[in-house]
């Protein structure tokens, strides 16, 4: 775990909305194109379940991505994520739209991104998270860098960190032991 400051848990405790980039966060960043030009992505089931658990605690989820892909739309639907912004070149503007749509302030929002296009959001949100293989400039401007890699449990780690900070993780996990 790498942090920018000592307030990771206090920042995570304030999160009411968690926004995720796709490529390099929800996936390992590899883009697969078939011979017909269709894009394929691999999503991690542990990450997906972490997102579902976080949503069950009352934290709203959103996806903000620069690319447009039918498989992302399907994944969002599968996870119950209604706040889906695709094809967003200006992520700062997209983030502002999501905040306006939800009534959440930037300080109450978490954002997870990995590349320089994500910096305008990462430096404005209340809890900025990235992955170990993110661009070096991004890693320097986030509050938390996951131990797990992109598409390999990083999203789950971030979701569980938020739940832990909010005191909801133990209760969520206990439901599986009943």
For the chain, what is the HEC assignment? CEECCCCHHHHHHCCCEEEECCCCCCCCCCCEECCCCCEECCCCHHHHHHHHHHHHCCCEEEEECCCCCHHHHHHHHHHCCCEEECCCCCHHHHHHHHHHHHCCCHHHEEEECCCHHHHHHHCCCCEEEECCCCCHHHHHCCCEECCCCCCCCHHHHHHHHHHHHHCCHHHHHHCCCC
Q: How far apart are CA 39 and CA 117, in angstroms?
A: 21
Residue 39: what pLDDT?
87
Full domain range(s) for residue 156: 2-174
Per-residue pLDDT of the chain (178 residues; tens, 9 = 90+): 444 445 999 999 999 999 999 999 999 999 898 999 888 899 999 999 999 999 999 999 999 999 999 999 999 999 999 999 999 999 999 999 999 999 999 999 999 999 999 999 999 999 999 999 999 999 999 999 999 999 999 999 999 999 999 999 999 999 999 8
Residue 6: what pLDDT?
57
| Cβ contact 142:130 at 8 Å | yes
The CATH number of whichever domain residue 27 belongs to comes to 3.40.50.1000
Domain total of the chain: 1
Q: Is 136 exposed, middle or buried (0-12, 13-18, 19+ CB in 10 A)?
A: exposed
The two three-digit tokens of residue 71, written as one number? 């498989």
Phi then psi for residue 161, to 5 deg, are: -65, -45
Residue 1: what pLDDT?
41
């Amino acid at each position: 775990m790498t942090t920018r400051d000592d307030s990771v848990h206090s920042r995570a405790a304030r999160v009411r909305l968690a926004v995720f980039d796709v490529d390099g966060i929800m996936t390992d960043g590899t883009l697969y194109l078939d011979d017909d030009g269709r894009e394929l992505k691999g999503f991690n089931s542990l990450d997906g379940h972490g997102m579902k658990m976080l949503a069950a605690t009352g934290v709203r989820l959103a996806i903000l991505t620069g690319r447009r892909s039918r498989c992302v739309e399907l994944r969002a639907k599968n996870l119950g994520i209604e706040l889906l912004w695709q094809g967003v070149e200006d992520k700062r503007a997209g983030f502002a739209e999501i905040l306006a749509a939800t009534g959440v302030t930037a300080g109450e929002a978490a954002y997870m991104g990995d590349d320089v296009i994500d910096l305008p959001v990462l430096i404005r949100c209340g809890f900025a998270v990235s992955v170990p293989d993110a661009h070096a400039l991004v890693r320097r401007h986030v509050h938390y860098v996951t131990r797990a890699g992109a598409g390999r449990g990083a999203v789950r780690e971030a979701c569980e960190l938020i739940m832990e900070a909010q005191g909801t993780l133990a209760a969520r996990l206990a439901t599986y032991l009943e």
